[in-house]
Amino acid sequence: MLGFHENWFWIAVVSTGVVGGWGVTLAALGRPAGRVFLAARSVAIGAMLVQVGAGLVLWGQGRRPADGFHVFYGVVIAFTLSFAYLYRAQLARKTALGYGLLLLFVMGLGLRAWANVG
């Protein structure tokens, strides 16, 4: 499971970064978020949730990172995505910009968690 968590990190961070950048670009160009963007958004969020879930499984197995901030950033990612779900109606007003910024923020949190692996 540790190997999966280490390798899936790249999929989670790259997907959130690419889709987040795509959303911000759509907003800057004044284009609406189409079905493909919405599907990619769901895939990117799902990828990060799988990463957080893998971390929870490792925690349950007694595998603890040396630095507690790694876990902190994982918890912040989970809370961020939970609040995004709660405020999805507000995010729908400017879908591309809202989810673009959200995914870039989550990507940054993922990178910070990775930077604190000890």
pLDDT above 90: residue 77: yes
Angle, helix 35-60 to helix 2-29, in steps of 10 degrees: 150
Name the residue range of residue 12's domain: 2-115
- The band of 2, judged by pLDDT with boundaries at 50, 70 and 90, is confident
pLDDT above 70: residue 103: yes
Burial of residue 61 (CB within 10 Å: 0-12, 13-18, 19+) is: exposed
Per-residue pLDDT, 118 = 61
pLDDT above 90: residue 33: yes
CB 97 within 8 A of CB 30: no
Look up tokens 């987040």; give the residue. 20
Query: Is the whole-model pTM more than 0.85?
Result: yes
pLDDT above 80: residue 99: yes
Other Cβ atoms closer than 10 A to 90: 10
- What mean pLDDT, rounded, does the chain reach? 94
User: How many domains would you assign to the chain?
Assistant: 1
For 8-24, the pLDDT digits (tens) are 999 999 999 999 999 99
